[in-house]
Structure 1
Amino acid sequence: MTLSIAGKTAIVTGSARGIGLAIARHFVDLGANVMFADIDEARLESELGEEAEGEGPLRYFAGDLSQKLTAANLLSATVDAFDRIDILVNANRDFATTDPLNPDDPAFEMLIRQNMLCAVRLSQMVARRMIAQAERNGQEEGQVGAIVNVTTLAARLAQPELLGVSVASAAMEQATRSLAVALAPHRIRVNGVAFASVLSASLQSALRENGGWRDRIIDATPLGRIAAPTEIAEAALYLASEASGFVTGQILTLDGGRGLIDPAGVPAY
């Protein structure tokens, strides 16, 4: 098996910045056609500019993927540009603290919607497209498609102020396993990457506002550092490629060992 994804077509959500951008850029560098998808059109334009014009290997799509019509339009735009879809990376994530004693906290529902529901619905839509492609092309063996869900270690920790992030992450892990079983007969693999302490856009912003957090995070991480978004990109590549051809329903954890010893109250995301 090989790590190559050259010639494949991928959709990467949340790709205007941070981890999603790193994954999408890495895929382009390795020869894939990539649709960068994000709600932040200005940021997509700033990052991609003229690269997204013409007949090159990348395009971008801006829209709120919590809306079913927008998700359908993303699929149509990808097929129009590249004729097919082989890989979906659900890297779209929002971060917010939530009040565990406030049943009316709007952030909780927002996090469930943006961090889990969007990914599940888009995965279902993309899977249907992948199955139709295989049937149309008479593809009777080999990988039909790969879906990679990017989530967080919060699924396995209990930090009250991160109730929304934790519940959404845990739901995403279970959705990954359930979709893996459902799509296995169609030769579509579904896996996840769970991270902690990665220099994502949200963590960089938090570190600027909280000077002491960096040392606390490093002290709580056995490998003694904060990961780079490119390290998540490498993990996503492995799970998207046929090098992981017999891997499905798994959550690959990149946390530098934090989940083994993580003390409560240390910021991570």
Structure 2
Amino acid sequence: MSFSIAGKTAIVTGAANGVGLAIARHFIEQGANVICADMDEVKLAEEFGANPDMDVLPEGDGAEPSNVRIFAGDLRKKLTIANLLSATIDAFDRVDILVNASRQVASSDPLDPDDKMVETLLDQNLMTALKLSQAVARKMVAQAEGADDRPPSIGSIVNLTSIAAHRTRPNLMAFSIASAALEQLTRSMAVALAPERIRVNAVCFGSVMSASLRESILNDPEVRDVVIHGTPLGRIAEASEVAEAAHFLASDASQFMTGQVVTVDGGRTVIDAVDTVNH
């Protein structure tokens, strides 16, 4: 089976920052046609070289690759999802891969009845992924209708979740709930879409050396030691390592995998945190 995604069209949400940005860049380097979607239009333009007033990157003689487009909008809105899909089809005629990398991480107070963070993160991290996946899956099915060949897989959806789904930190209750729900969404949609030959998997990751983690380490150097001490491989992951896992799940190399949550955490979730105190 081929690991190549060259020539395939991918929508990557959350593409202006962090892991979403790393995935978008990696897919572009691998020759995929990539729609980079995010709410932050200015950051998208900075990262992918477009004028903030443009919704596509220039083609032709310039330095910008013709296999990249940017799309700015709030994907919590139904119309924005429709516009994103239309922009994708207008640019590249089809969609083969969706990476739901847009997510919000925030603290919450489990004892505060006025704390709305659970609703907020379920809306941002879960419902956006669900609605966009539904829209993209319908397009994938429509594309496959009438085709002469019948490949084992006609599309791949990759969700990004967190080891917070399996670990309990009270101040991250809302994020943990949303992450666990997204993993169950992955499994449920995998079964529902299997008859259509659309695969749905997830990448669950731990601490990644993002801009926010770098800032935390600068403010408190002990953060780095705590994370490394709790990680058997003894280091913090780079965002590119998560991107490579997403690449695998998007490619035909994983075409008999669906409903799976691939964990990229350096072994952090397979050890007993109490036991590490004595080592």
* Same fold flag (TM > 0.5): yes
Q: What is the aligned counterpart of 1:132 among 130, 142, 166? A: 142
The aligned residue for residue 43 of structure 2 is: 43
Give me the whole-angstrom Cα distance separating, in 1, the residues matched to 2:126 and 2:23: 19
Quote the offset at 1:125 in angstroms: 0.6
Q: Which structure 1 residue ranges, 4+ long, deviate > 3 Å from structure 2?
A: 136-139
The aligned residue for residue 34 of structure 2 is: 34
- Calculate the TM-score normalised by the size of structure 2: 0.91
What SS does the corresponding residue of 1:88 show, helix, strand or coil?
strand
The aligned residue for residue 96 of structure 2 is: 86
The aligned residue for residue 171 of structure 2 is: 161
The answer (yes or no) to whether the contact 1:149–1:192 under 8 Å persists in 2 is yes
Q: Deviations over 1:234-258 (max 9, x none)?
A: 0000000000010000000011111
Q: Unaligned stretches of 5+ in structure 1?
A: none
Give me the whole-angstrom Cα distance separating, in 2, the residues matched to 1:221 and 1:88: 30
Q: Deviations over 1:84-129 (max 9, x none)?
A: 0000000111111100111221322211111111111100110000
Same amino acid, percent of matched pairs: 58
Q: Which runs of structure 2 are paired with 1:204-219 in the superposition (5 Å)?
A: 204-219=214-229
| One-letter amino acid of the counterpart of residue 261, structure 1 | I
The aligned residue for residue 245 of structure 1 is: 255
Give me the whole-angstrom Cα distance separating, in 2, the residues matched to 1:46 and 1:262: 42
Q: What is the aligned counterpart of 1:231 among 208, 219, 241? A: 241
Give me the whole-angstrom Cα distance separating, in 1, the residues matched to 2:188 and 2:119: 22
| One-letter amino acid of the counterpart of residue 83, structure 1 | D
The aligned residue for residue 106 of structure 1 is: 116
What SS does the corresponding residue of 2:145 show, helix, strand or coil?
helix
Give me the whole-angstrom Cα distance separating, in 2, the residues matched to 1:182 and 1:139: 22
| One-letter amino acid of the counterpart of residue 32, structure 1 | A
Give me the whole-angstrom Cα distance separating, in 2, the residues matched to 1:74 and 1:156: 32
Is 1:64 the counterpart of 2:69? The answer is: no
The answer (yes or no) to whether the contact 1:12–1:37 under 8 Å persists in 2 is yes
What SS does the corresponding residue of 1:137 show, helix, strand or coil?
coil
Bigger radius of gyration: 2
- Calculate the TM-score normalised by the size of structure 1: 0.95
Q: Deviations over 1:144-185 (max 9, x none)?
A: 100000110000111111001100000000000000000000
The aligned residue for residue 58 of structure 2 is: 53
The aligned residue for residue 53 of structure 2 is: none
The aligned residue for residue 2 of structure 1 is: 2
The answer (yes or no) to whether the contact 1:95–1:202 under 8 Å persists in 2 is no
The farther-off stretch of 49-58 and 171-180 is 49-58
The aligned residue for residue 131 of structure 2 is: 121
The answer (yes or no) to whether the contact 1:220–1:262 under 8 Å persists in 2 is no
Give me the whole-angstrom Cα distance separating, in 2, the residues matched to 1:236 and 1:206: 26
Quote the offset at 1:200 in angstroms: 2.6
Quote the offset at 1:54 in angstroms: 2.2
Give me the whole-angstrom Cα distance separating, in 1, the residues matched to 2:203 and 2:239: 12
Quote the offset at 1:27 in angstroms: 0.7
Quote the offset at 1:49 in angstroms: 1.5
Is 1:17 the counterpart of 2:22? The answer is: no
Quote the offset at 1:222 in angstroms: 0.6
Q: Unaligned stretches of 5+ in structure 2?
A: 51-55, 61-65
Quote the offset at 1:136 in angstroms: 4.5
The farther-off stretch of 219-228 and 48-57 is 48-57
* Count of residue correspondences: 265
The farther-off stretch of 208-217 and 51-60 is 51-60
What SS does the corresponding residue of 1:52 show, helix, strand or coil?
coil
Q: Deviations over 1:210-266 (max 9, x none)?
A: 3210111111111000000000010000000000010000000011111012538x9
Give me the whole-angstrom Cα distance separating, in 2, the residues matched to 1:237 and 1:131: 22
